[in-house]
């Protein structure tokens, strides 16, 4: 399949790059020990590459997928590589005790909305379970900063994936202890594994059609490099407890994106087929940087989300209950998730019937 370069992705977005000045931020990381989870994924691998460029940095890169981690090891030979499930508390404790991270970037997560609607217990066990394990260990081992990579789908979630990430946000936002917990929330990453551009490219190469869920569906997009630079910046300027929202520019209509791809790489015979919204999908994502949803942040590209203040004495037991429920049935797990995240209202999903509980 044809590799789409960043300059081509910017042409699809119709804008200039959104890149902060990073020299001072990266300089502050010299000589630090940094742990990255989900290091084999789109965000985790780019984070790792940007961090690896810093002089004297020590990296421990964790993922449960062997092949992506092996490919990353060829690019970052100086890193330490660990194949492990971040939900495995004993294994993660061995990582923390052996490596002694000072900063943790938690990018490991299940992210595909339709798949997590089919497998809600897996979404909760993986996303919430791993976050709890890593946050608790970070406090126990004196980690200075913990950065959780979240999503715009955590805003008034309509699907299990987004709600599971909102549960993660609540847990780290109120976690007691000296560790500075910072959350970064942004939209879709253009060109990431499983995202719309690689899908459209495969469909173009097979002669089409390009499948779009709805003619009016819009999404916010960033490049992987842009998102990772802002994650690093937020990690260093956050004082703890914030949910940073990235300025992602104007939303993009997916049908327009498909037309631009056909114009750039199509052979003249492709068309667009509208297949309907998938389970859990919204037509429009929330406007992340609106004044109603955010406060000014410490950097022009970063704002602070207005969210209800979480209290650990309430959230901690609710997270424990949620994880217990995730070992039962799907309905038990989703009901527990809706109790913890009351703004979670399912869309185009069999779980809509639990919204009144």
Catalytic positions? 153
Instruction: For residues 295 and 7, give the distance between their C-alpha atoms in angstroms, rounded to a whole number.
Output: 32
Q: Which residues contact 345 (CB under 8 A, 6 or more apart)?
A: 156, 157, 158, 352, 355
Instruction: Supply the DSSP symbol for 277.
Output: P
Closest alpha carbon to 37 in 88, 3, 77 = 88
- CA distances 264 to 8, 130, 261, Å, are 9, 41, 5
* 214 neighbors 276 (Cβ within 8 angstroms): yes
- Residue 352 neighbours by CB under 8 Å, 6+ apart: 345, 346
> 131-155: string of b/e by CB count within 10 Å (b at 16+)?
bbbbbbbbeebebebbbbbbbbbbb
CA dihedral 140, 146, 152, 156 (to 10 degrees): 30
Q: 210 forms bridges with which residues in the sheet? A: 272
334: which residues sit within 8 A by CB, 6+ positions away?
Answer: 120, 160, 346, 351, 354
Spatial separation of the C-alpha atoms in residues 127 and 98, rounded to whole Å: 24
What are the tokens at 242?
């914030």
3-state secondary structure of 13: helix
284 forms beta bridges with 218
- The answer to whether 215 and 34 are in contact (CB under 8 A) is no
Helices (H), ranges, 34-112:
42-52, 66-75, 89-99
C-alpha Rg value of the chain to the nearest Å: 20
């Amino acid at each position: 399949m044809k590799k789409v370069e960043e300059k081509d992705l910017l042409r699809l977005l119709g804008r200039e790059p959104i890149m902060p000045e990073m020299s001072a931020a990266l300089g502050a990381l010299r000589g630090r020990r940094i742990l990255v989870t989900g290091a084999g994924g789109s965000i985790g691998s780019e984070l790792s590459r940007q961090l690896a460029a810093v002089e004297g940095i020590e990296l421990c890169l964790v993922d449960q997928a062997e092949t992506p981690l092996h490919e990353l090891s060829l690019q970052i030979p100086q890193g330490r590589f660990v194949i492990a499930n971040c939900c495995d508390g004993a294994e993660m404790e061995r990582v923390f005790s052996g490596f002694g991270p000072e900063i943790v970037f938690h990018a490991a997560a299940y992210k595909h909305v339709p798949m997590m609607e089919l497998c809600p217990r897996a979404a909760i066990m993986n996303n919430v379970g791993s976050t709890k394990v890593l946050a608790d260990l970070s406090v126990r081992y004196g980690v200075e900063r913990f950065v959780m990579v979240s999503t715009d789908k955590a805003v008034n979630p309509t699907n299990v994936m987004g709600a599971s990430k909102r549960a993660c946000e609540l847990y780290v936002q109120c976690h007691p202890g000296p560790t500075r917990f910072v959350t970064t929330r942004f939209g879709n990453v253009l060109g990431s594994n499983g995202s719309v551009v690689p899908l459209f490219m495969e469909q173009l190469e097979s002669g089409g059609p390009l499948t779009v869920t709805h003619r009016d569906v819009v999404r916010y997009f960033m490049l992987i490099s842009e998102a990772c630079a802002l994650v690093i910046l937020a990690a260093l300027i956050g004082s703890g407890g914030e949910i940073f929202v990235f300025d992602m520019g104007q939303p993009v209509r997916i049908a327009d994106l498909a037309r631009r791809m056909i114009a750039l790489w199509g052979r003249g015979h492709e068309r667009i087929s509208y297949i309907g919204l998938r389970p859990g999908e919204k037509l429009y994502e929330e406007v992340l940087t609106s004044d109603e949803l955010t406060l000014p942040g410490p950097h022009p590209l970063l704002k602070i989300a207005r969210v209800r203040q979480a209290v650990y004495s309430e959230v901690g037991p609710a997270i424990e209950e949620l994880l217990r429920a995730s070992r039962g049935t799907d309905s038990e797990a989703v009901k527990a998730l809706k109790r913890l995240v009351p703004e979670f209202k399912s869309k185009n999903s069999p779980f809509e019937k639990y919204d009144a509980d």
